[in-house]
Structure 1
Amino acid sequence: MIKGEFAVSSPGALADEVAAVLAGRHDPGVETFERVLNSVVSHTFRDREALAAALGSVPREFEVNPHGQVRCMAGIVGAAVGPVRAEESWESGVAGWLELCQHAALDYIASARTGEIAARLRAGDPVPFLLSAPSGPTGAVEPYELVERLAAYERLGIRPGPADLGQALLRCGGPVDPEVVRAAERLKLEEGPRVAAWLRQGGLPRPAWWREREAGEPERPSRRRGARIGRRILVGHEAVEGRGAFPRPFWSLFRTFEPHISCPHWSLPDYRTAHTVTVLPWHPETAAARLMTGIASAADQDGSGSPSFLEALASADGPAGPAVHLAVAYGLASVPEGDRQAAVRALVALASRGRLDGELLGRELTELVGLGTLRVPLLTESLRAAVAVPQGAGAVWAVLATALPGLLDRTRPQVHGALLGVAADAARLSGARGGLPEVTALAERPGSSLLLRQARRLRDALAGA
């Protein structure tokens, strides 16, 4: 039922992978985490004693606080190899759940799934495989595979876990073959009609979005550590219908999201990973919007980076809209070098998949620079790096063709020369033609400064000279 890179590992290979994940302390990545998670579940179902023998010697104590996914894996392994507590009910795990922060909506879903898995293992009620195991690297579950897995549950007389099924449904999206819907309708499971209806509508509905600029005006530069000078642009969305069929920890996702809502966290670094995006692979806009404050903090404060998150947004199955493009804009001028490199890869990935809206990204960059939020030297460095990779020049020119007119009016002349040089290289390498009045007027001014020389280079490149 689970194929490809997420197929169940052999007991020996599983033991090696678990040991490597727990010893590494770092994020194991989506493919490894999901494969190991599903393998532990499957082998517990097949032969719990053999699994305990294979994994019993794997240490699960840490001298240094590990990544959240590592701690989660240690808990799952402990539930699988520990004693069975048949008197416990795995179905009552969310009774006391309380929403604390709307920014963490996708983490609530991920935690509900792994918590349910651990509780089910402790109660001695394992399942043959996870309904929510991904079908591919983005985290998406193919609808026909979900129906096949549910049919196998039906034959075995196993009840789907609400959180596992809920996560599987959120990982389904896009057009669905009518025959797959009819197969879901033929399921005898209690959940069959709900699954069929969900697939018929194409998965989670897309909410209405809005873009919101932070109140106030840019301030004068400050030397105070952590002081934020510029003003951010964030994205919010309206409520989504259908939450009642999901477990309570899923409900936060369905609420209206106010982008400037107060939050007890600062930058939520553990949530800004590829794992977060794979919770909802058909809706990268939601992941980007919910965690935009953390992404922005890496550009205008001393926030920690989120490179895997940025790349996962660009590679997700769902459409890239205002939130994804805004996240890339912040990433291109982030202080952590890893974020800038990831944003470059995300920019090129969007372009290679035909999902880059150059005008949209160009407008966002222009406004964020004008608000004092992005640093032009860092942005220039990122765009120069993007020009040097295949398909990068076309992507950069698609962005700068919109951004340059505004940027030329808003930033220091000494910065323009470097930025115009990047634009000239991008235009020449991509074969762009046409003209920008602001650049032409600048190129015709007398003088030999770097700014004027690069303006002439760009003018000539656009003229095909």
Structure 2
Amino acid sequence: MLGDLLVHRWHEEELGRTLAVFAGHRELVAARCVRYPATYGYFGAYKPADVALLADGDGPAGPGMSLMLAYSLVDDGQDLAVGAFLRLAAGGGVAGEEAGRRLAAVLRHRGEGPKHALAALRGAALKGAHREVWEVMAGWLTAFLPGPGERATAGHTRMVSLAADVASWVGARGGLPVIAELASRRPGSELVRQARRLHACLTAPPA
């Protein structure tokens, strides 16, 4: 039966009905909703409000939930995305680094910048989910920042700036290789300055 649930159909039930049947298994429901997002987009029943329904559900988060959350951060109005993020965070439903990697994949596939996702994540952090936001940022930075020889954008700089703010709020430690590499570059750009600010926070001795 679970195999049948993940088979593509042209006509789908609404997510709310599926969630009612599989109560406590929102990851399974999310996976069904976003089976082929990179190739086809949202087939069938997906609506922005579906993330809000999943946020109020039960069960652990995994790739499906993380991908739903990533699309919400990119697509939905800030209030809707922030509200869903906060409810997921309150129930332990944000798989931080996984969600960050999925967010990077969505943006790369679409060729979009991080403006809307940054606004939503900053809003969630300012409303109390700063630890969960930092975990998402750690995965996102690793998967989305330009490597040596790749072109950086103003969006990348804003990402690192937000990450530095949030890392300082939560007292994050542990270093990120991609940030260490950026911080080691010749000074002169705002991206390098923000990377050095974040790297200094992550490598500072415990207070």
Q: Same-fold call, TM > 0.5?
A: yes
Match of 1:89 in 2: none
AA matched with 1:282: G
Q: 2:65 aligns to what SS in structure 1?
A: helix
Deviations 1:388-425 (A, max 9, x none): 111x2111111121221221127742211111111111
Matched, 1:277 2:29: no
Shift of 1:460: 2.1
Shift of 1:433: 0.9
Match of 1:409 in 2: 146
User: How many residues matched?
Assistant: 199
Match of 2:81 in 1: 343
Question: Which among 118, 129, 132 is matched to residue 395 of structure 1?
Answer: 132
Question: Which among 175, 184, 203 is matched to residue 435 of structure 1?
Answer: 175
Shift of 1:312: 2.1
The alpha-carbon distance between structure 1 residues 441 and 320, as it changes in their structure 2 partners (threshold 3 A), is closer
Match of 2:54 in 1: 313
Counterpart-to-counterpart distance in 1, 2:61 and 2:106? 19
Shift of 1:457: 1.8
Shift of 1:429: 0.7
Larger radius of gyration, structure 1 or 2?
A: 1
Deviations 1:334-376 (A, max 9, x none): 1x41xx4333333333332233321221221232233236542
Match of 1:263 in 2: 10
Mapping of 1:375-390 within 5 angstroms? Answer: 375-390=113-128
Counterpart-to-counterpart distance in 2, 1:420 and 1:463? 15
AA matched with 1:377: K
Counterpart-to-counterpart distance in 2, 1:344 and 1:464? 30
Runs (5+) with no aligned partner, structure 2: none
Mapping of 1:122-161 within 5 angstroms? Answer: none
Counterpart-to-counterpart distance in 2, 1:401 and 1:436? 8
Counterpart-to-counterpart distance in 2, 1:263 and 1:383? 34
AA matched with 2:6: F
Counterpart-to-counterpart distance in 2, 1:256 and 1:317? 18
TM-score w.r.t. length of structure 1: 0.38
Q: Is the 8 A contact 2:60 2:92 kept in 1?
A: no
Runs (5+) with no aligned partner, structure 1: 1-238, 241-253
TM-score w.r.t. length of structure 2: 0.78
Match of 1:354 in 2: 92
Q: 1:389 aligns to what SS in structure 2?
A: helix
Counterpart-to-counterpart distance in 2, 1:308 and 1:344? 12
Counterpart-to-counterpart distance in 2, 1:293 and 1:374? 21
- Range with bigger deviation, 451-460 or 363-372: 363-372
The alpha-carbon distance between structure 1 residues 373 and 345, as it changes in their structure 2 partners (threshold 3 A), is farther
Higher relative contact order (CA 8 A, sep 6+): 2
Counterpart-to-counterpart distance in 1, 2:203 and 2:163? 14
Deviations 1:74-122 (A, max 9, x none): xxxxxxxxxxxxxxxxxxxxxxxxxxxxxxxxxxxxxxxxxxxxxxxxx
Counterpart-to-counterpart distance in 2, 1:352 and 1:256? 28
Match of 1:447 in 2: 187
AA matched with 1:388: L
The alpha-carbon distance between structure 1 residues 262 and 255, as it changes in their structure 2 partners (threshold 3 A), is closer
Q: Is the 8 A contact 1:435 1:462 kept in 2?
A: yes
Shift of 1:439: 1.1
The structure carrying a bigger helix percent of its residues is 2
Q: Is the 8 A contact 1:276 1:309 kept in 2?
A: no
Counterpart-to-counterpart distance in 1, 2:130 and 2:138? 12
Query: Aligned residues: percent identity?
Result: 32
Q: CA RMSD in A?
A: 3.2
Counterpart-to-counterpart distance in 2, 1:445 and 1:413? 16
Shift of 1:452: 1.9
Q: Is the 8 A contact 1:314 1:324 kept in 2?
A: no
Counterpart-to-counterpart distance in 2, 1:441 and 1:454? 12
The alpha-carbon distance between structure 1 residues 380 and 281, as it changes in their structure 2 partners (threshold 3 A), is same
The alpha-carbon distance between structure 1 residues 413 and 373, as it changes in their structure 2 partners (threshold 3 A), is closer
Mapping of 1:26-425 within 5 angstroms? Answer: 239-240=1-2, 255-258=4-7, 261=8, 263=10, 271-272=14-15, 274=16, 277-292=19-34, 306-334=47-75, 336-337=76-77, 340-372=78-110, 375-390=113-128, 392-409=129-146, 412-425=152-165
Q: Is the 8 A contact 2:113 2:155 kept in 1?
A: no
- Range with bigger deviation, 377-386 or 420-429: 377-386
Q: 1:288 aligns to what SS in structure 2?
A: helix
Counterpart-to-counterpart distance in 1, 2:56 and 2:9? 30
